Amino acid sequence: MGVINLARVDERLIHGQVMMTLSQKNGVNSIFVVDDVVAKDKFMRELYKSAGGRTGQKTIVITPDKAKFYWDEYNFKEYNCILITKTISVIYDLVTHGVPMKELNIGGIAQKDPEKDLLVTKSVYLNQSDAEKLKDLNENYGVEDIYFQATPSAPKSTLKEVLAKFNL
Q: What is the pLDDT of residues 101-115, one digit of tens each?
A: 999 999 999 999 999
The CATH code of the domain that includes 93 is 3.40.35.10
Domain count, the chain: 1
Asked if the model's pLDDT at residue 55 lies above 90, the reply is: no
b/e 65-104 (16+ beta carbons within 10 angstroms → b): eebbebbeeeebeebbbbbbbbbbebbbbbbeeebbbebb
Return the amino acid letter for 103: E
Average pLDDT, rounded, for the chain: 94
Q: Which phi and psi (to 5°) does residue 113 adopt?
A: -130, 105
Give me the domain span that covers residue 140. Answer: 3-164
Cα radius of gyration (the chain)? 15
- Cα angle at 136 between 29 and 6, to 5 degrees? 10
Q: What is the pLDDT of residues 70-112, one digit of tens each?
A: 999 999 999 999 999 999 999 999 999 999 999 999 999 999 9
pLDDT at 73: 97
**Over residues 142-164, mean pLDDT:** 96
